[in-house]
Structure 1
Amino acid sequence: MRENDPSMHVAKIERRHGDRVYTSYLVRRSVREGKKVRHVTVANISRLPLAAIELLRRALAGETLVAPGEAFRVERSLPHGHVAAVLAMAQQLGLPRLLDRSPSPERSRALAMILQRVLEPGSKLACTRALAQSTLAGELGVEGVDPDGLYAALDWLGERQERIELRLSRRHLAEGTLVLYDVSSSYFEGRSCPLLARGHSRDRRRGSLQIVYGLLCDPEGRPVAIEVFPGGVHDDKTLQSQVERLRRRFGLERLVLVIDRGMVTKANLDALAKEEGVGWISALKAPQVKKLVREGSLQLSLFDELNLAEIESPDYPDERLLVCRNPLVAAERARKREDLLQATEALLAPIRARVQAGTLQGQAAIGLAVGAVLNRRKMKKHLELEIDDDRFDYQRKQAQIAEEAALDGFYVLRTNVPAQELSAAEIVRSYKTLAHAERAFRTLKGPELELRPIHHRLEQRVRAHAFLCLLSYYLEWHLRKAWAELLFDDECPPVAHDPVAKAERSPTAKRKASTQRTTAGEVCHSFPSLLRELALTVRSKNSVPGSDASFDTVTELNTTQARALALIAQT
């Protein structure tokens, strides 16, 4: 090597003196003299910052160093983690093939709407905007889709509802299984849809136009099918069409239908009796329970020490009646009734004072004032009123209150399923699974999926919208199941020895609720907050200045994000 060769390097020299180590950095040039190499020191750079020394070392080694802004430019950054999670679960469930066996633009758009409703529910117009605000549109190849394209995909999905529900039933409904069925309603914006009518509103929107829909679920609460009815249809009028669907369309020869007491009418029981292999579990209404007590079929004294007993009544031939008493429910109803009575009396007292003072006179005027108060708490049945032109008084109907209080905490289940198939305890547990369908309605109608309010005008689109929400809930149900350890949900709900007793959460779930931490010590999440946590993982598109080259980078996952994706892969 020649003396003037410009090749140089940075050498790190360490010298030990006693317990101390002295480090110096030298810029050197290596010179070969025959068979020997001699190092010539060019400069001592020990006083430079370590970062500067490292840059100099890399430059002398031949690397080309540029400023970060000159190396590449971040063109776009979009939330990606939550999209990766829902896409992974959709693939695990085979959701694309569930919609249709063959790929198509309509399938991709329908899938995008299902997934987007889980991520951020909204209208179809809002969906087009939201798709562009995450990586979902790019992942599914639906960039630039407009509302008309989504409406066309919604129509496409509605046409395939029967086939998709049949595939779901084959997955989750086996012969002889429990099938949960319940009904709810949702209010409507607009007046032109032929399904609209006024009826009993579960949304507390009395007098609003609405639709009614019935939901079929498997024993664990997975949604299988949904049917939309006109808003004025009563619950019991929807049952026979569901039996027809289960028997004829889904091909189930044996099943046990768990239904709410409002659907049990003579016509429905007669129809169910004609269906061989169809069992059912429901409950008696309050007047029917009172009649059992009056006739002596139900002896309340038996439940001083028991909370479950099976009785018989000539009014219910070929049926089993299971009487349950929950002391906690009894105490809660007694407390609530007393609170309502006291609140009503507190509002009636000023009216009585006005009548006594002569500032409120006339039977009609007094009656209007009293009626307005009684309508607030619905306690008229427990109060005896005396209204005259110049007199008003009230007192409690103690005997009637005592008669009602005696039945606090009691409920009676009825079923045609024989004891050799389901024991009394199993009947009670089966009826309690109807809570899964009620939770499904809360999720469908709540901020998680926002089935309501409904803005569509065409009947087929209203039905398709409800079905789209069902598929979104199907996806969310499985996500919640997979993420149970990260959520406040109970990972392993204990099965109580006493089927009537109040359900208790497991010690692990109670600990999560009190400490706000998972068993691994991470922050515990709700389902929406976990999606927001995942959305912090960002995918960026980077371009290289002066060329057409580009590349993507994804934010490094934190512990919670990595665990959430791993749990999906394990399902």
Structure 2
Amino acid sequence: MEGLKSNPWASPPKPTDVRTLEFEDNLPSFRLGVPALGHALFQRLELRTILNNAFAGVDHKGLRIDLTEVMVLNRLDDPASKLALWREWYPHTALPHLLGLPALGWDEDSLYDTLDVVDERRDAIELQVYERVVRPLEGEAPKVLMKDLTSSYFEGSGVANPLSAKGYSRDRVRGSRQVNWSLLLTPTGYPVTLEVYPGNTKDETTVAGTVERVQRVFGLKEGIFVGDRGMLTKTNLEVLTAAKFRYAIAETLWNVKPVLAEAEKKKREPLGPLAASKKGRKKGAQAKLEVGLPAPPEEKVFEESWCEVVGEDGRRHICVWSEEKRRDELASLKERLEAGKELEKWARSGVQSGEWTEDNHHDLVKSLTKKLVEEDAEKLHDVVWDPQTIGTVFVKVNVERKAWEEAKAGWWILTTDTALAGPEVVRVYKSLAVVERAFRTLKGPLEVRPIRHWKAERIRAHLYVCVLAYLLERYVEQKVREGAEKPITVTGEVAWGLFKEVRWQQVGLKGTDVRRWTISNITGMQRVVLERLGVAEAQLRPSQTTL
């Protein structure tokens, strides 16, 4: 009836109980957390601008920039082969919507072609990353550059290439073909340059090339070069001096026995507390020279001390003695001597049973030597076959080597031409631990190995893509830690891992057309990380118009 109005005294409708609503199942859901955070940081650090500049004149430049970013973010989220990245990972992430790059229209070969471009333009990329990212983060041109070398093994049956060779494996994968590569880092752990070498390259042969590269590509004319003992040769010191670089490099104690003998006579000054070593250290391994590791409360903390000795050649040596290191090395020595005794018992048992005879004793000697190598005890023992003597086979202790290991226990020595005080030289050298940490990150969560590429240019590019992922990992770690009221010890790996379950999820009500996109699985800790990075949660959201 016209004119009737609703009853103003009628009860309002009851609100819908959300718990009674039924939501649609099997609606689209994409991996969002790591890809979206990585994309935001790619823009924050201007990495896309850097790639745009470096790829000038390249065909399909936009696609090459996108696919380079895709490969970098894959290392941070769920490292995969290029085929698996294309088929299985990318289509299930939010990257097609973040980049505006559909999963169709490119394939595995597009990724390989992009690797070729990355290798071709790597000098330009590294220079701009150094100028626009690393230097601003460091606050100035780094005065200390730290270098170390490692190796990664190949997997597959592809054709040989100039980088593939058998050599000393840092991965402890014996007999495999490998590639050697080195990183030059700042003390904060940011990468300056990657260098790639054939798998049989020795550390000592790489220094001159590094000096030439930092001068030619980056224009660096001075600084302190920090390296491990494998890089110390007279020629390398001359190269560094001629290039006006100072150095702080570890010595091989066997090569500086007179310096060690002189140090033993001198009065030492306290250097500071050394963190107690971790239990379960591998036999024969030297004490780790890690920085800032707190000692477990139940273990006693020993003190390091130092003195300075000038060698006969005029070189300055900082000699450091550690009770903790001495205790560990003597314990290791005892274990390796015991291993020799046990192997001798094993060999003699085989002789008594007739397994080993004069006819095959060469095989026994080889087997014993191999087992001694595995125990890191081959230099301490000599294997002797003597059928004219009771016992027939002997694993004899090398008395001279044993005495030497007892004498050097607890010592390590640096050589330097800097004017820095002894404790400062030690501090600078210990910062080399960040390179070891970078290698662990690259070989661990970023899965740089095994390498499945067989073209030299793609091997180099694959390694550099992993280095760019490490740059983002390190950046997140540093930003999360800095400026905190209380120390935050979260690693970059943990911080990135917090975002692996974050998804871009469509939700909807059954029986309706209501659909909404939402970010799921965001927690308080993830919001803390975003706040410290200066990334708003809204920056993780893809534009809905692309969905």
* Band of TM-score, shorter chain: 0.7 to 0.9
Call closer, same or farther: CA 1:354–1:158 in 2, change over 3 Å.
closer
C-alpha distance in structure 1 between counterparts of 2:336 and 2:395, whole Å: 15
- How far residue 308 of structure 1 moved from its aligned partner, in angstroms, is 0.6
Query: Does the aligned pair in 1 maintain the 2:506–2:516 contact within 8 Å?
Result: yes
User: Which of 469, 475, 481 pairs up with 1:472?
Assistant: 469
Asked whether the equivalents of residues 348 and 370 of structure 1 are also in contact (C-alpha less than 8 Å), the reply is no
Asked if 1:372 is matched to 2:333, the reply is no
1:453-494 CA-partner distances (Å, limit 9, x unpaired): 112222211111111111111111112223449xxxx989xx
| Structure 1 counterpart of 2:425 | 427
State the match for 1:119 in structure 2: 77
Q: What is the correspondence of 1:12-411 to structure 2 with a 5 Å cutoff? A: 53-55=14-16, 68=22, 75-101=27-53, 104-128=62-86, 129-144=88-103, 145-170=106-131, 171-172=133-134, 174-175=140-141, 177-189=143-155, 190-275=158-243, 277-293=244-260, 296-300=261-265, 302-303=267-268, 307-314=305-312, 316-317=313-314, 319-352=315-348, 359=354, 362=357, 365=360, 368-369=363-364, 371-376=366-371, 377-383=375-381, 387-390=385-388, 391-392=390-391, 393=394, 396=397, 400-411=401-412
Alignment size in residue pairs? 480
How far has the Cα of 1:209 moved from its partner?
Answer: 1.4
Q: Give yes or no for contact 2:27–2:507 (8 Å, CA) kept in 1.
A: yes
Cα distance, 1:76 vs. partner? Answer: 0.6
Structure 1 residues 556 and 285: CA distance shift in structure 2, 3 A? closer
Q: Secondary structure at the match of 2:262?
A: coil
Query: How far 1:403 moved relative to its partner?
Result: 3.4
Residue by residue, what CA displacement relative to the aligned partner does 1:367-404 show, whole Å, maximum 9, x if unpaired? 64355234322434434666421522556456652432
For 1:86 and 1:372, locate their aligned partners in 2 and report how far apart those are by CA, in whole Å.
51
The answer to whether the 8 Å contact 2:203/2:230 transfers is yes
State the 1:257 CA deviation: 0.9
Moved more, 75-84 or 323-332: 75-84
Partner of 1:323: helix, strand, or coil?
A: strand
Question: What CA distance in whole angstroms lies between the structure 1 residues aligned with 2:396 and 2:148?
Answer: 40
Q: Which amino acid aligns with 1:335?
A: A
Q: 1:112 to 1:10 in 2, by over 3 A?
A: farther
Q: CA deviation at 1:328?
A: 0.9
Quick one: distance in 1 between partners of 2:334 and 2:112?
53
> Structure 1 residues 153, 350: closer, same or farther in 2, change over 3 A?
closer
Q: Deviation per CA, 1:312-361, whole angstroms, max 9, x where unpaired?
A: 111x32x3110011211111111111112213212322434565x57467
In structure 2, the CA distance between the partners of 1:533 and 1:404, relative to structure 1 (3 Å rule), is closer
Q: Distance in 2 between matches of 1:556 and 1:463?
A: 37
User: Which runs of no fewer than 5 residues in structure 1 stay unpaired?
Assistant: 12-26, 28-51, 59-65, 493-506, 513-524
TM-score of the two chains, using structure 2 as the length reference: 0.78
1:460 is aligned, of 448, 457, 460, to 457
Distance, in Å, in 1 between the alignment partners of 2:142 and 2:189 is 16
| Residue identity matched to 2:533 | I
Q: CA deviation at 1:218?
A: 0.9
Within a 5 Å distance, the mapping from 1:448-527 to structure 2 comes to 448-484=445-481
In 1: Cα distance, 2:174 partner to 2:442 partner: 20
Asked whether the equivalents of residues 501 and 521 of structure 2 are also in contact (C-alpha less than 8 Å), the reply is no
Gaps of 5+ in 2: 271-303, 537-547
Q: CA 1:228–1:381 in structure 2 vs 1: closer, same or farther (change >3 Å)?
A: closer
Contact 2:149–2:181 (CA under 8 A) maintained in structure 1: yes
Indicate how the Cα distance of structure 1 residues 442 and 176 shifts in structure 2: closer, same or farther if over 3 A, else same: closer
For residue 194 of structure 1, give the secondary structure of its aligned residue in structure 2.
coil
Say if 1:287 and 1:364 are closer, same or farther in 2 by CA, change over 3 A.
farther
Partners of 1:84 and 1:168 in 2: CA distance: 21
* Cα offset, 1:219, TM superposition: 1.3
| Higher Cα Rg, which structure | 1
Q: How far does residue 546 in structure 1 lie from its aligned partner after superposition?
A: 10
Is 252-261 or 370-379 further displaced after alignment? 370-379
**How far apart, in 2, do the equivalents of 1:240 and 1:259 lie?**
13
Match of 1:538 in 2: 503
Does the Cα contact within 8 Å between 1:74 and 1:541 map onto a contact in 2? no
Please say if residues 176 and 256 of structure 1, whose CA atoms lie closer than 8 Å, have aligned partners that are also in contact: no
| Kept after mapping to 1: 8 A contact 2:76/2:496 | no
Q: What amino acid maps onto 2:402 in structure 1?
A: I
Aligned-partner Cα distance in 2 for 1:530–1:257: 31
Tell me which protein shows more strand as a share of its residues: 1
TM-score (normalizing by structure 1): 0.75
Report the CA distance between 1:130 and its aligned residue: 0.6
Structure 2 CA distance for partners of 1:374 and 1:230, relative to 1, 3 Å: closer
Q: Is the 8 A contact 2:504 2:519 kept in 1?
A: yes
Distance in 2 (alpha carbons) for counterparts of 1:491 and 1:234: 42
Partner of 2:181, secondary structure, is strand
Superposition pairs for residues 531-570 of structure 1, below 5 Å? Answer: 531-541=496-506, 551-555=516-520, 557-569=522-534
Report if aligned partners of 1:330, 1:410 keep a CA contact under 8 Å in 2: yes
Alignment correspondent of 1:412: 413
Cα deviations by residue, 1:103-128 (Å, 9 ceiling, x for unpaired): 82211111111111111111111111
